[in-house]
Structure 1
Amino acid sequence: MLATPADNPYQEPRSGRLTAWGNALLAGTSSPDDAVTAVQGRDDAHRVTGLPGEVPDSLHGLTWALGRLRTLGAKGLRLALPVAGHPLGLTGPAAFNSLALGAGEAVLAVGVPYGLVPEVEVYGPEGDQGVRVLWQCLPVNEAPPADVPSLDEAERELADGLRQATVLLTRLDVAGAGPETLRALEAFRRRGHREVLAPGYPQRAVRVLESARQVSALLAIAAGGHGAAVSAAEMAARREVLAPLDRTARRAQVAAYNAMVDERRD
């Protein structure tokens, strides 16, 4: 059964899992079986199509696909989390960017000009649904990814942004924006996360990602009017306050997932 937003205010992007565990596999810190199991999570199946050297329109499992990327020269993977007006992590061309923007996420290979975008299919009756994921591989431009910060920058931005948003939400005094929202966030924190990123990631990246997850949970709780009904005007005010923090949280997530390749020089 699929979790609802109320059950889990933060949903890890599938491209994040593929980036983290694909990097662990490519670096030799995870076995293929462990990596694929972690990427698929509760989904029923993941398939990949469009990789160079395969029969057109054929489907392959993640183990084959990651091995094929390694053979082609991939040194690692990077995450992109684009939204309209903010192509975070993308490099072009327009065809790939458009597909990634529609999905809200993508994975870009490091060392070879290819990227992967997930297409998610939910099937079955309500209450007993399953999920299948098809990853489409397309060419990408070899260029610096858009607007990706370092871990240092991301950590500073998160701390500043969360303080500012907490003050502003409380000052707004709209139903559920202050104490109720923060209590819901604390409940999310207490649940904890046993699996953050993948073997081989620096501890600082784990810390940044956990902070970004908490911020994303706060955004989801606040945007949903947690605790009471709110008016359209109140919701508009809340969205205006939270929009900069959403950008900050997405930048931090990308920095954390990409740390295994972007922070090697450190």
Structure 2
Amino acid sequence: MIPIRDDNPTPYFPLVTILLILINVALHIYQISLGAGAEAFLYRFGAIPWELTRGLEWPGLPSGFQTPSGPWVTPMTSMFLHGSIPHLIGNMLYLWIFGDNVESLMGHGRFIFFYLVCGLFATAAQIFSHPDAVIPMVGASGAVSGVLGAYLIRFPRARVHVLFIWFLFIRIIPVRAFFVLGFWFLFQVFNGLLSSGHGPGVAWFAHVGGFLSGMILVFLFERKDRVLRLRRASW
């Protein structure tokens, strides 16, 4: 199931959501422009669990791949980088569909702080699950997962239109958000339990950690005066 859009209009302009998408796209264009230097760029600014658990640079890094400011800045910088165009498109699609409602729930300032904190919790979850991994973690998916967790808590009955593909059966169907996001979360947990986490691939537990942190932190960051009004509009 691939979400296409939701039936959950909001009266507020999603300024931060749009800015986050533009920043991620701009950085990926810059990354592509580096050509052969793109891999070194990802190693310099991606979050490497081995380094963050030890506070040291991984000795296996080639020359030019080291982070200029040390590894501690990378949990923040890594969430604005992506390994490929499909990786970027997938994350930005989810952010576009679900981010506007969560931003409306919190307001612009609270939302950007919420987004970044969820991204940090997501990175911490992946590091905890695979502390010796030396492949850099990159991508907005941990932070976006936090947005999904918040959406599930506050808009569980909103209708989400998903592209459903089963062999020759292809349809766009409306499904309640609690089913779409609940299925998505279980899929992340299942794959995370099967993953070794040491080779290149998806940081499944970053998704799990981001999602759970979003479910909890939404109560801290939401604006109470907007909760009831926005939830009523989504039913």
Greater Rg over alpha carbons, structure: 1
TM-score, length-scaled by structure 1: 0.26
Which structure's residues are more often helix, by fraction? 2
